[in-house]
Structure 1
Amino acid sequence: MVYSDFYARFHDWRRRVGTALLAVWRFRPSRVYLIINGLLQLGAWWAAVYIYRHLTGKLLVQHYNVDYGIDLAGDPSHIFYYPLFGLAILILNLSVAAGLSRHKNFFTFTHLLSVAATVFAVFLGLAMMFIYLVNFR
């Protein structure tokens, strides 16, 4: 069986990516951050589905200002953008951490990136809570 250069490079790339992701996973604090972030992501997706299903009209209030009132409203399906942004930040930070797996400050960078993704997920949860309060209370 003849193997092409592309096939060999693909499997070499796959092995390097697997090794880099395994380095991130073997770092114990990274596992804790990923589990916490995963739970926060599940909560955000659950909140988005709950808000979407219980919305009675065709308008979703996404932001309310005390001085000006409602200043951001849109289609109810826009509620799914919030957890999607959180998932994108998690994947981006995980990819950057895996890319830095051979760097001498890998552990510091992994901590910073994981904490940033977790803090973003916490603020995302708060945003979902406020969207719920504005639309249903």
Structure 2
Amino acid sequence: MKRFTVRIGLLVLATAGLLLVPVGEGHADPEKARACLDSMVSGAISSGMRVRGSDVAAAGNQAAITYRLTLYKGMDYVLLGCADGEGVDLDMRLYDKSGQLVSNDKSPDAQPFVDVSPPRTEEYALQVLVYKSNAPNTDFAVAVAYKF
């Protein structure tokens, strides 16, 4: 009966969002990813760009998250990313609506960026891939900066 009560108690806490999981080595850190991105965004703004949107997400090693975004012909974009851990290779790939690669980040680091001047206005897919990480989950932050 005691085990049943403990399990029910844990279930109630988890459901209520009150169960705290200890942060250990290799645990993702969304605040670190956000702070890193904020620094990159500040640089983009100081060069005359504006920021259209941002997001923070997490993925495991070799896992990707895809964002759909409309990019407009005649504008210049910088797609920015920043991961939270040491030894992380975060990659970004931009595909057009037919699935063709438009541009991608080629550097093996945790701060990818992709410059693009879309040839036409359409919906694009931005794939953010945790290519390499020593942690089970890696938090990252992404932003879309643009200039007329």
Q: Does the TM-score normalized on the shorter chain lie above 0.5?
A: no
If each structure's helix is expressed as a fraction of its own residues, which one has the higher value? 1
Relative to total residues, which structure has the larger strand share, 1 or 2?
2
Q: Which has the larger radius of gyration?
A: 1
With structure 1 as the length reference, what TM-score do the two structures score? 0.29
